Structure 1
Amino acid sequence: MKTILLVPTGEGVGLTSACLGLIYALECQGVKAGFLKPFSQELTLGADRTSALFRHLTQSETVEPIPYATVTQQLNHDESDELLEEAVRLHRQIAKKHDLIIVEGLLPNNRDSFASELNTALAQALDAKVIIVSNADIRNPLCSAEKVESQLRHFGGSTGTRVSGVLFMRTKGLPEDSAQIPVTIDPALRLISDTNKFVSAIQQTHAHIGTDKLPVIGLVPFSNTLSVPRMSDLASHIQAEWINTGEAAQRRVLHSSLIASNIEHELHKFVAGELIISASDRIDVLLASSLASSNGIPLAGLVLTEHHAPNAQVIEFCQTAIKQGLPILHTPLSTFETAQSLASLSNEIPVDDTERAEQVTRFVSSHINEDWLTKLLNGSYQTRLSPSAFRHELVQKSIAARKRIVLPEGDEPRTVQAAAICQSRGIAQCILLAKPEAVIEVAKARGIELPHDLEVIDPDLIRENYVGKMVELRKGKINELQAREQLQDTVVLGTMMLALNQVDGLVSGAVHTTANTVRPAFQLIKTAPDYSLVSSVFFMLLPDEVYVYGDCAINPDPDAEQLAEIAIQSADSAKAFGIDPRIAMISYSTGTSGAGAEVEKVAEATRIAKERRPDLLIDGPLQYDAASVESVGKSKAPDSKVAGRANVFIFPDLNTGNTTYKAVQRSANVVSVGPMLQGLNKPVNDLSRGALVDDIVFTIALTAIQSEQQAG
């Protein structure tokens, strides 16, 4: 059992972010760490913030900390031993399910003089290795080192053996562009050169910090972008009431502006993510905000100060902005008081702001030294492909593949943002099919920075090039007039580019249906030589493991031969993405316990698949619980090498497959990546119309890897 205790040097160092980032970095190494916060420092009762965020981000359970009142009471009664015994009991509860536990220590502050002493005792009680977490300023290495030294003294100083590293958080003085938000953990973002320089500067006065014995395991930049609150976080802080709530829970305050002079001199402030603060009698500001919203500029929101809220007639005049979700607040504070109050807003992540928690977690993990993590694990953990590890591998493999992916929905805002991320991170060379001016307009309105090498192709300028070639590909089925008409659809145009090897893959579906995306592929790309049909898989990112579900999107009622082919395709897809396939052919009956045409079909499909691919672990018919739950598998199919351990599930028909994937996805809050089409000559992949930007990024990465696999 390994236990890592994170001990902060003071308040505001980003301790919660450090804990969650380290847990995510371990996930990406295939190790699922437990989390424990033994002692609460919250004065009010209720769910602990870090514990609640951990539960959401990892879909894992933890225990609630010992309440602050209990901690202080026991310490005041000289019952520190009893307090530590309770902390050990909580630790053992977590240890039942985990081999490695991350523990959040107490914050030294003006109120709790016992924090450092209790952290020292806790490290001994849990036999934990300690990571000191501190903030830093590149321009002041001496001050940064002294903060670390002040905590190091509690653990034996420079000669002690309990402290195993230092993590610098919220580091100031680094270049602005070092604070980019990664899609997943990316070792390329680590500031190796900056870290080495900073360590060298620290060692001028504190030679032991940054050595092999006390390494600096990460230098995490301060990021304005990740410290931004939502509009919904502001109201109580400035004693405000809502005039219009709108998208307050989604819109973030990237920066704020006081509007004091004539509106004509202030129009440059009305940009994406801006919080506009103005006196409530400035009707011109309200109208300018409304006009900006009508032009597609997503302002963070509007705060009207002093006086009374605008009357209903004025608000009625701004209905366009209100319909587009512009949050509007009114506060009795003055404009200056409002700005002052907002400047003191806490950097801590609110318990319900899970989107920001996810971004911060990825950001921190990307700056943690992977070599240090490897030494920490020291080959003593059996890794598995966790969801985080799957996403990490996905991105790294796609970067190595360097493929060109066409996106027919080129001016759709989520697609533009995903393309910009993929392009800037090297995940793929993206080609947007859209009018360049439309893409620029979307980027400007959404505050998206378009990489200089992102390709945007106007469909009108290239469409004619494909008419003759399309007629040739669909000989006897369409003429030039019909081809020209079909090529008005950018999905068809993109599919033609793929058919002619001008791109390596296609991703569509953010606004098109599955049929719109798939039909041109069937007609123009056709099936690969080894296969007679096209099927699909979803990668189901369960809390502990990634499952593969097939077929859940394409074939309504495959026969035994087709079902066997779907199983083989799905197994090969699993292998391509680092999953060692154990394939369960799902039915309503296990083994020979039931009878009927459907069971016989699955039994025959299992036989055919085993015959065609003796190298694969395949078993069936298996009921879902017999395939996935070890105890049930041992009971119902004791001799099976798949039962209870399956990670590839092949459903007997589309009705079963689609229903199961949706039930698991929605009821268990599971992220699903897909559907990924398999069996085509070239990769074409469909998106859900509710896809998030991250979903599109991962689908682009997945498509790039498919292309690389097919080329190999």
Structure 2
Amino acid sequence: MARNIYITSIEGHAGKSTVALGLLYTLSREAKRVGVFRPVARTSNERDYVLEMLLAHDAVDLSYDKAVGVGYDDVHADPEAALSRIIERFKAVEAQCDVVVIVGSDYTDVGSPTELSFNARVAANLGAPVLLVLGGQSGAGVNRTPEDLVQVYTIAHQELDAAHAHLVGVIVNRSDPDHLPQIIEAVSATAGADTPVWAIPEDPFLIAPSLASLLDAVDGELLKGDSELLLREALGVVVAGMTMENVLTRLIEGSVVVVAGDRSDVLLATLMAHASETFPSLAGIILNGGFELVPQIERLIDGLDLSLPVIRTSFGTYDTARIITQTRGRLAADSPRKFDTALALFEQHVDSEVLLQRLDLNPPLVVTPLMFEYGLLDRARQQPQHIVLPEGGDDRILRASSTLLRRGVARLTILGDEGEVRGRAAELGLDISGATILSPFNEELRERFATEYVRLRAHKGMTMEHARDTVTDVSYFGTMMVHLGLADGMVSGAAHTTAHTIRPSFEIIKTKPEVSIVSSVFLMCLEDRVLVYGDCAVNPDPDAAQLADIAISSAATAAQFGIEQRIAMLSYSTGSSGSGADVDKVRAATALVVERRPDLAVDGPIQYDAAVDAAVGKSKMPDSEVAGRATVFIFPDLNTGNNTYKAVQRSAGAIAIGPVLQGLRKPINDLSRGALVQDIVNTVAITAIQAQGVAADSAAAASLAASTTTAAAAGEQS
């Protein structure tokens, strides 16, 4: 039986979409099949953008038509028939899902308790507890006081009670940031101890319209600039109805500037101000009046080579400004920063564990890729580490940094020229203000790093002059930061080769004392479980001792990420059935693992089918605790490992996270040059978790040393 939750409010613009998104992500960590259902959707030709946004989530596998109950017209025409239809269509969705997020109607006509009453009836008939969302602001955009919110809650609770709907919790969204504790205290006092109450502060960014939505609203055309920057949100409006010098003093960070199309002087001054580091970074310019640009002015603009979007509209100044100010931002699938902001607000202000307990979800029996990814982010957030990202000139790194910072996954240092990095982030509408931007040509650090590099490579004849040049390479600079404790880990490779990324770590970081070889694994996220594949990226043809080392390191990595450790030492032969140099190598490696780590479950040589398929494993190795149940797969060479992981990735639709380097004293990880933003986010989270392990080991070693010293001192005194 699915467990479901119904999100509703007593009015429009309360921010249900933010709550729905946060809840959807929370439930995706706990359930394999998450559904979304909209009992009452918009009846116009426009598709329901909230529903489309939620359906775009990777955990949801439903079509738009299946996720809709009825339209507003159906409810107005015959509420009882509409309710019957909603129940019928919901049951079809429920049958396919472990849990369903039901998003109540949007008050697109007359917002009143009558609409809440219908939502409450729907919730009661669907057997779904209600998560009530109260708007922290009135329709006029004024912050509500705690007393105001108590009144709103009381009205809403009466409607829910009348329909026999069960209230599971209250979220006061878009609340006055300065009075969150008072709001929670006041509403909690009225709701009672059995009803948890949370408050999410207002964030103006979430209601800011994007340049793309303003382009549509003013029926404009993109005249100049980068079309990708149309996704940036406009955080304010400046109407340039004055002289050039007065316009410049009124520019606002992230704003859209409305300029009359025949005021070339103001247009050029605004563009030059945007290009200057001494003025605010703008979101865009809208030229009103429909005027054509004078050819000479157009040549000047082209010569500036700016990416700032310049939009032309035929509307006059008044109408253009009116339309812009009336255009509301939407939390849509094409706004990653809004996604990150909404999720961060939900994660920071709503106790998801309490909410999940209230829903009484059964523990998941499987681990999906999404569950695993969210688990990575959660673990990284528990003890944020300092990660250095050397490739500050790559937009993917900047987008990932914005996500990581907003969601509190790690503390970041990005390498690059500070003006260029922050300027590009501003152009993209990204907030990386929480990151440190550091130039690899920083003189103080360059000298310090060069001195240390000479010490480390003195046996290779390293000179100070050569070292000064070497350490300005971003991979060497970032690695030296990790080595000297200025960062806890490094992630690179989006714009560099694997060799360029990891070679400095071999020279500087080096291996752990008990490890003889640096190796790698891929975390293979299948539909219902996560497996470990090693080594698929670093060592071409390891010998038996190295293969044993890789197996032990891979088991440790598996344990670090909550994966059971049952190691299959793969070969083309199972057990004692085959012979030859390649099989003998695997057999010898297996014996070494057993000798060094008798606590580990390991078997080999074993073929892949016997390792992964229970029936085949029982047939070929009936007494093995690994056969048919393996979780850690050790390939005999790089050729086999690399091809196998890619074959499984493509044919089984697995998500391959990695390569994750193992065996180094401190974590350095490589990215694919085709890495997506989410790949970078995941790799940083993995690196942060590895760094947590390093910190824990160091603390344990320090504690042991301290206790040994104390015991020795006590012995001397006695």
Give the TM-score normalised by structure 2.
0.79
Q: 1:168 to 1:403 in 2, by over 3 A?
A: closer
Partner Cα separation in structure 2 for residue 577 and residue 349 of structure 1: 32
Q: 1:83 to 1:439 in 2, by over 3 A?
A: closer
* Paired position in structure 2 for 1:187: none
Partner Cα separation in structure 1 for residue 156 and residue 444 of structure 2: 65
* Paired position in structure 1 for 2:124: 124
Residue identity opposite 2:243 in structure 1: N
- Could you tell me how far 1:538 is from its partner in structure 2? 3.7
- Could you tell me how far 1:518 is from its partner in structure 2? 1.4
Q: 1:550 aligns with which of 499, 524, 534?
A: 534
SS in structure 1 opposite 2:57?
A: helix
- Could you tell me how far 1:160 is from its partner in structure 2? 5.9
- Could you tell me how far 1:534 is from its partner in structure 2? 0.5
* Paired position in structure 2 for 1:275: 256
Aligned-residue RMSD, C-alpha: 4.5
SS in structure 2 opposite 1:464?
A: helix
* Paired position in structure 1 for 2:715: none
Preserved contact between residue 261 and residue 290 of structure 2 (Cα < 8 Å): yes
Preserved contact between residue 153 and residue 187 of structure 2 (Cα < 8 Å): no
Preserved contact between residue 130 and residue 165 of structure 2 (Cα < 8 Å): no
Q: 2:328 aligns with which of 335, 338, 346?
A: 346
Is 2:467 the counterpart of 1:483?
A: yes
Q: 1:469 to 1:231 in 2, by over 3 A?
A: closer
Partner Cα separation in structure 1 for residue 149 and residue 490 of structure 2: 49
Partner Cα separation in structure 1 for residue 654 and residue 266 of structure 2: 43
Partner Cα separation in structure 2 for residue 701 and residue 485 of structure 1: 29
- Could you tell me how far 1:306 is from its partner in structure 2? 0.8
Q: 1:330 aligns with which of 289, 312, 332?
A: 312
* Paired position in structure 2 for 1:146: 151
- Could you tell me how far 1:222 is from its partner in structure 2? 1.7
* Paired position in structure 1 for 2:12: 11
* Paired position in structure 2 for 1:56: 56
Preserved contact between residue 369 and residue 530 of structure 2 (Cα < 8 Å): yes
Deviations 1:236-270 (A, max 9, x none): 21111222462245433233322222222323556
Q: 1:251 aligns with which of 232, 235, 242?
A: 232
- Could you tell me how far 1:168 is from its partner in structure 2? 1.6
Q: 2:355 aligns with which of 373, 377, 381?
A: 373
Preserved contact between residue 489 and residue 666 of structure 2 (Cα < 8 Å): yes
Q: 1:535 aligns with which of 519, 523, 533?
A: 519
Partner Cα separation in structure 2 for residue 147 and residue 695 of structure 1: 41
Partner Cα separation in structure 2 for residue 386 and residue 473 of structure 1: 44
Residue identity opposite 2:177 in structure 1: L
* Paired position in structure 1 for 2:691: 704
* Paired position in structure 1 for 2:217: 237
Partner Cα separation in structure 1 for residue 86 and residue 387 of structure 2: 56
Matches within 5 A, 1:557-576: 557-576=541-560
Preserved contact between residue 522 and residue 532 of structure 2 (Cα < 8 Å): yes
Q: 2:78 aligns with which of 61, 76, 79?
A: 76
- Could you tell me how far 1:111 is from its partner in structure 2? 5.8
* Paired position in structure 2 for 1:308: 291
Partner Cα separation in structure 1 for residue 210 and residue 422 of structure 2: 26
- Could you tell me how far 1:679 is from its partner in structure 2? 0.9
- Could you tell me how far 1:555 is from its partner in structure 2? 1.6
Partner Cα separation in structure 2 for residue 631 and residue 71 of structure 1: 56
Preserved contact between residue 618 and residue 628 of structure 2 (Cα < 8 Å): yes
Partner Cα separation in structure 2 for residue 560 and residue 67 of structure 1: 61
Q: Single out whichever of 432-441 and 329-338 deviates more from structure 2.
A: 432-441
Is 2:293 the counterpart of 1:291?
A: no
Q: 1:280 to 1:678 in 2, by over 3 A?
A: same
* Paired position in structure 2 for 1:93: 95
Deviations 1:636-679 (A, max 9, x none): 98877556765544444434544565677789997765433211
Q: Single out whichever of 431-440 and 276-285 deviates more from structure 2.
A: 431-440
Preserved contact between residue 612 and residue 627 of structure 2 (Cα < 8 Å): yes
* Paired position in structure 2 for 1:178: none
Q: Single out whichever of 582-591 and 548-557 deviates more from structure 2.
A: 582-591
Partner Cα separation in structure 2 for residue 568 and residue 691 of structure 1: 30
Q: 1:410 to 1:51 in 2, by over 3 A?
A: closer
Is 2:92 the counterpart of 1:105?
A: no
- Could you tell me how far 1:136 is from its partner in structure 2? 1.8
Q: 1:163 aligns with which of 158, 163, 167?
A: 167
Residue identity opposite 1:254 in structure 2: L
Residue identity opposite 2:511 in structure 1: T
Preserved contact between residue 535 and residue 555 of structure 1 (Cα < 8 Å): yes
* Paired position in structure 2 for 1:473: 456
Preserved contact between residue 14 and residue 170 of structure 1 (Cα < 8 Å): yes
Partner Cα separation in structure 2 for residue 529 and residue 400 of structure 1: 28
Q: 1:450 to 1:78 in 2, by over 3 A?
A: closer
- Alignment gaps of 5+ in structure 2: 138-142, 701-718
Deviations 1:351-400 (A, max 9, x none): 54465335423432332124522532558424766666655655565566
Partner Cα separation in structure 1 for residue 200 and residue 584 of structure 2: 58
SS in structure 1 opposite 2:460?
A: coil
Partner Cα separation in structure 2 for residue 647 and residue 45 of structure 1: 50
Q: Single out whichever of 503-512 and 334-343 deviates more from structure 2.
A: 503-512
Preserved contact between residue 16 and residue 133 of structure 2 (Cα < 8 Å): yes
Is 2:670 the counterpart of 1:686?
A: yes
Q: 1:512 to 1:11 in 2, by over 3 A?
A: same
Give the TM-score normalised by structure 1.
0.80
- Could you tell me how far 1:21 is from its partner in structure 2? 0.9
* Paired position in structure 2 for 1:190: none
Preserved contact between residue 306 and residue 335 of structure 1 (Cα < 8 Å): yes
- Could you tell me how far 1:485 is from its partner in structure 2? 3.9
Q: 1:239 to 1:407 in 2, by over 3 A?
A: closer
* Paired position in structure 2 for 1:186: none
* Paired position in structure 1 for 2:504: 520
SS in structure 1 opposite 2:151?
A: helix
Preserved contact between residue 272 and residue 447 of structure 1 (Cα < 8 Å): no
Residue identity opposite 2:104 in structure 1: G
Is 2:298 the counterpart of 1:318?
A: no
Residue identity opposite 1:131 in structure 2: L
Preserved contact between residue 674 and residue 699 of structure 1 (Cα < 8 Å): no
- Could you tell me how far 1:526 is from its partner in structure 2? 2.2
Partner Cα separation in structure 1 for residue 111 and residue 471 of structure 2: 69
Partner Cα separation in structure 1 for residue 85 and residue 71 of structure 2: 12
Partner Cα separation in structure 1 for residue 87 and residue 385 of structure 2: 56
Q: 1:199 to 1:112 in 2, by over 3 A?
A: closer
- Alignment gaps of 5+ in structure 1: 176-193
SS in structure 2 opposite 1:366?
A: helix
Q: 1:626 to 1:72 in 2, by over 3 A?
A: farther
Q: Single out whichever of 370-379 and 589-598 deviates more from structure 2.
A: 589-598
SS in structure 1 opposite 2:41?
A: coil
* Paired position in structure 2 for 1:188: none
Partner Cα separation in structure 2 for residue 55 and residue 668 of structure 1: 23
Partner Cα separation in structure 2 for residue 667 and residue 50 of structure 1: 33
Q: 1:208 to 1:543 in 2, by over 3 A?
A: farther
Partner Cα separation in structure 1 for residue 275 and residue 653 of structure 2: 35
Q: 1:456 to 1:155 in 2, by over 3 A?
A: same
Residue identity opposite 1:555 in structure 2: N
- Could you tell me how far 1:332 is from its partner in structure 2? 0.9
Identity %: 33
SS in structure 2 opposite 1:6?
A: strand
Partner Cα separation in structure 2 for residue 156 and residue 123 of structure 1: 12
Q: Single out whichever of 506-515 and 593-602 deviates more from structure 2.
A: 593-602
Partner Cα separation in structure 2 for residue 298 and residue 666 of structure 1: 43
Deviations 1:518-538 (A, max 9, x none): 112212332222222101234
- Could you tell me how far 1:572 is from its partner in structure 2? 0.8
Deviations 1:157-182 (A, max 9, x none): 6x9672122122222x214xxxxxxx
Preserved contact between residue 45 and residue 67 of structure 1 (Cα < 8 Å): no
Residue identity opposite 1:110 in structure 2: D
Q: Single out whichever of 301-310 and 446-455 deviates more from structure 2.
A: 446-455
- Could you tell me how far 1:333 is from its partner in structure 2? 1.0
Partner Cα separation in structure 2 for residue 309 and residue 663 of structure 1: 55
Residue identity opposite 1:119 in structure 2: N
